[in-house]
Chain A
């Protein structure tokens, strides 16, 4: 693409350094739930956008799972057409204010950016810019709602209101279908509302996106557990739905099965984060939901992914004296976003890498008081390409902990699979759906997001929602399966 709006020749663009994100002071923010990143000002956004080389064959776009037209939207920022830029992103990504904040950009768009591969330069801040225009659109109340096609007379049910379900709903309603999203919890948004904390993704952003979808005509029914409250077959037979999209996520917490895991104050990350985020336990007693009071206490979080990072930073905000992140591999093997790891360290999280718990030890009343850990060393590379952690014999040691959060991953919830005859699952309990169309083994039933891929990312789930919407639309208009 030839960039039409950028006044600077490429050479000069390369002189500009990557603009950094203004953030709340680490020591202050470690004690509040307000957003860490404050967002670009107009000046910072312009400076950063001007760095883009407007590549002819933009590599960044290939790095983005949904192919956001990055060079084009960035060029619109240079022209100060922020609403145009936001609309450009929305052609491929319906939740830009969310992805701009939580995508692992360093592995996706930014990781592929030409600038990232030039000595002495660093990638364009694509996530920051995406967030900037989405916030501009949102805070000025100018989100352009797309027009919807005339009613098709077809009804689609969506199970689960995470990013996969939401993006599918948004696309289908625009194509004129009558869409109802069923959600087991009392709030819409999936992991975006119950998992990812306020300080990383303010819940108002999700709420506003959901409101926009309501305005487009999407119906939401909370407090409905598909498979319990109503089955997939009943949706077809009794409620007249023509297609069903299953987007129930990977919401089943894994435990390690080591002694002491059922002691009081040993949580799964899901429970801890749900209590704090969804149920607002951090505002107890204004809100009724309790959570272990870790103020002044020692907290250990087991794991190295985004979930572990969110849990450990949340414990700091609840006042933990020492917040340890205990991970069996090395720090650089952690799957968490680099920015989160960096923020966590700034805030005072203590990284204990190459340590693995083997047992939790309780007091006489059944509360955890310590963890027995063993030291690991790096072994041969495993299937993930990282070196396999191998325990060092005789290295066991006890660390005093008053609370433990287990964040070693999630698997799929079986409620829908168990109650839907004819729906194939794989050995790990995930729903099987063909890659291209997300069709399952059952006619009229599509599935996507974490329930198919296993725990992945927001943008991949959203991409799956859009793919499903396209094939559901085809199915509804042609009747072909």
Chain B
């Protein structure tokens, strides 16, 4: 069992957890993830390690409640435990001195991108960050990213905060400016990553994306996380999760990501019903 030493909401559906996981904390590098199982009836899901502290033996993860498992996870509080946490998995990001780098985080992708942005900053790059969110309340990790960014740009779909635009608008402006980026890292929803890839392809700028393929074991054993990169099958958990954005078959990624949509809906409905009952019981008691 892995004890949660801190749990707090960052936005409505996004929760941060600090978890006691000494072995993972010691080895984690930016770009790596864990696979966790909330309880012994649970599924195994991958979550990026947003930070780690080897001294305190903790890792920090940030989860967006979108389906049964992440919503269940987000019901946990400080002092609760998670049944299984294994990692760090995946290849660490290539951190080099590229020059000017643009780090783009969409939604919960902002938290996923943070450790890499930090490492790129420490490696002597000028980091320009773009956070994209639907609306103001969903902007997360702004302070953390601001501390290492020059500048930090926020875009919202509804204009409630920062610039009213999608992330590719400021990205294109940067490409056309004297601050032309040498390297772009984009992590977020598939359509966002695809749009970034198209924007930088034309400009010939090296771009890396982190692929959220469906995973089970995370060690190369099942092949369920297959993605196509440069026309070749790769296992996202061991060959990635970061890949050259210009080589990724995003359509396939989206198709495979939708594979369990019906089952996910069943699980979520069931969970929400049960959960509503529990809340009701708690209220009665």
Interface residues of A (CB under 8 A from B): 184-186, 222-225, 228-230, 251-253, 255, 257, 261-262, 264-265, 267-268, 270-271, 274-275, 279-280, 284-290, 292-293, 365-366, 413-415
For B129, the chain A residues whose CB sits under 8 A away are: none
For A185, the chain B residues whose CB sits under 8 A away are: 86, 217
Select one of B223, B252, B259 contacting A268, CB under 8 A: B223
**13 sampled A-B residue pairs with Cβ under 8 A:** A184-B86, A185-B86, A229-B27, A229-B88, A265-B259, A270-B221, A274-B216, A287-B42, A288-B41, A288-B267, A290-B260, A366-B251, A366-B255
Q: A230-B27, A289-B44, A414-B220 are in contact. List 19 more A-B contacts (CB 8 A).
A: A185-B217, A186-B44, A224-B23, A225-B87, A228-B88, A251-B221, A262-B226, A262-B252, A262-B256, A270-B222, A274-B217, A275-B216, A284-B263, A285-B270, A287-B41, A287-B43, A288-B69, A290-B267, A366-B252
Contact with A along B13-43 (1 / 0, CB 8 A): 0000000000110010000000001000111
The smallest C-beta distance from B268 to any residue of chain A, in angstroms, reads 10
Chain A residue nearest to B83 (CB atoms) is A186
Among the interface residues A222, A223, A275, A366, which one has the most CB atoms of the partner chain B within 10 A?
A223
Contact B233 A261 (CB under 8 A): yes
Contact with A along B65-96 (1 / 0, CB 8 A): 00011000000000000011111110000000
Q: A228 with B27: in contact, given A184-B219, A279-B44 (CB under 8 Å)?
A: yes
Contact B216 A222 (CB under 8 A): no
For A264, the chain B residues whose CB sits under 8 A away are: 255-256, 258-259
Contact B43 A279 (CB under 8 A): yes
Does B152 lie at the interface of the complex (its beta carbon under 8 Å from any beta carbon of A)? no
Among the interface residues B88, B216, B222, B258, which one has the most CB atoms of the partner chain A within 10 A?
B222
Select one of A186, A229, A271 contacting B87, CB under 8 A: A229
Contact B217 A223 (CB under 8 A): no
In the complex the two chains form, what is the Cα distance from A265 to B263 in whole Å? Answer: 14
The smallest C-beta distance from A339 to any residue of chain B, in angstroms, reads 27
Q: A253 with B252: in contact, given A186-B37, A285-B266, A415-B238 (CB under 8 Å)?
A: no
The 10 closest A-B CB pairs, nearest first, are A366-B255, A290-B263, A271-B222, A223-B86, A268-B223, A288-B43, A290-B260, A186-B84, A289-B43, A251-B221
In the complex the two chains form, what is the Cα distance from A252 to B222 in whole Å? Answer: 7
Contact A230 B222 (CB under 8 A): no
Contact with A along B262-273 (1 / 0, CB 8 A): 111011001000
In the complex the two chains form, what is the Cα distance from A257 to B267 in whole Å? Answer: 34
Does B228 lie at the interface of the complex (its beta carbon under 8 Å from any beta carbon of A)? yes
Chain B interface main SS type: mixed
Inter-chain residue pair count (beta carbon < 8 A): 116
In the complex the two chains form, what is the Cα distance from A270 to B263 in whole Å? Answer: 20
The smallest C-beta distance from B108 to any residue of chain A, in angstroms, reads 20
Contact B84 A223 (CB under 8 A): yes
In the complex the two chains form, what is the Cα distance from A188 to B51 in whole Å? Answer: 29
Could you tell me how many residues of chain B have their Cβ less than 8 Å away from some Cβ of chain A?
A: 42
The smallest C-beta distance from B27 to any residue of chain A, in angstroms, reads 6
Does B162 lie at the interface of the complex (its beta carbon under 8 Å from any beta carbon of A)? no
For A229, the chain B residues whose CB sits under 8 A away are: 23-24, 27, 86-88
Chain B residue nearest to A267 (CB atoms) is B224
For B84, the chain A residues whose CB sits under 8 A away are: 186, 222-223
For A252, the chain B residues whose CB sits under 8 A away are: 220-221
In the complex the two chains form, what is the Cα distance from A285 to B83 in whole Å? Answer: 19
The smallest C-beta distance from B111 to any residue of chain A, in angstroms, reads 22
For A251, the chain B residues whose CB sits under 8 A away are: 219-221
Contact A228 B89 (CB under 8 A): yes
In the complex the two chains form, what is the Cα distance from A288 to B84 in whole Å? Answer: 15
Which B residues between 188 and 226 are near A, CB-CB below 8 angstroms?
Answer: 216-217, 219-224, 226
Which B residues between 236 and 285 are near A, CB-CB below 8 angstroms?
Answer: 238, 251-252, 255-256, 258-260, 262-264, 266-267, 270
In the complex the two chains form, what is the Cα distance from A251 to B42 in whole Å? Answer: 23
Q: A255 with B223: in contact, given A184-B86, A261-B233 (CB under 8 Å)?
A: yes
The smallest C-beta distance from A428 to any residue of chain B, in angstroms, reads 15
Contact B222 A186 (CB under 8 A): no
For B267, the chain A residues whose CB sits under 8 A away are: 284-285, 288, 290
The smallest C-beta distance from A90 to any residue of chain B, in angstroms, reads 31
For B260, the chain A residues whose CB sits under 8 A away are: 290
In the complex the two chains form, what is the Cα distance from A415 to B86 in whole Å? Answer: 14
In the complex the two chains form, what is the Cα distance from A414 to B27 in whole Å? Answer: 19
Chain B residue nearest to A270 (CB atoms) is B222
In the complex the two chains form, what is the Cα distance from A228 to B43 in whole Å? Answer: 21
Contact A413 B220 (CB under 8 A): yes
Contact A184 B217 (CB under 8 A): yes
In the complex the two chains form, what is the Cα distance from A274 to B43 in whole Å? Answer: 11
Contact A365 B255 (CB under 8 A): yes
Contact B217 A262 (CB under 8 A): no
The smallest C-beta distance from A209 to any residue of chain B, in angstroms, reads 20
For B262, the chain A residues whose CB sits under 8 A away are: 293
The smallest C-beta distance from B101 to any residue of chain A, in angstroms, reads 26
Q: A279 with B220: in contact, given A228-B88, A229-B86, A366-B252 (CB under 8 Å)?
A: no
For B24, the chain A residues whose CB sits under 8 A away are: 229
For A285, the chain B residues whose CB sits under 8 A away are: 263, 266-267, 270
Contact A262 B228 (CB under 8 A): yes
Q: A255 with B233: in contact, given A230-B23, A413-B220 (CB under 8 Å)?
A: yes
In the complex the two chains form, what is the Cα distance from A223 to B86 in whole Å? Answer: 5
In the complex the two chains form, what is the Cα distance from A65 to B219 in whole Å? Answer: 31
Among the interface residues A262, A268, A293, which one has the most CB atoms of the partner chain B within 10 A?
A262
In the complex the two chains form, what is the Cα distance from A249 to B53 in whole Å? Answer: 33
Chain B residue nearest to A229 (CB atoms) is B23
Select one of B68, B85, B216, B263 contacting A279, CB under 8 A: B216
Q: A288 with B68: in contact, given A186-B37, A262-B233, A279-B44 (CB under 8 Å)?
A: yes
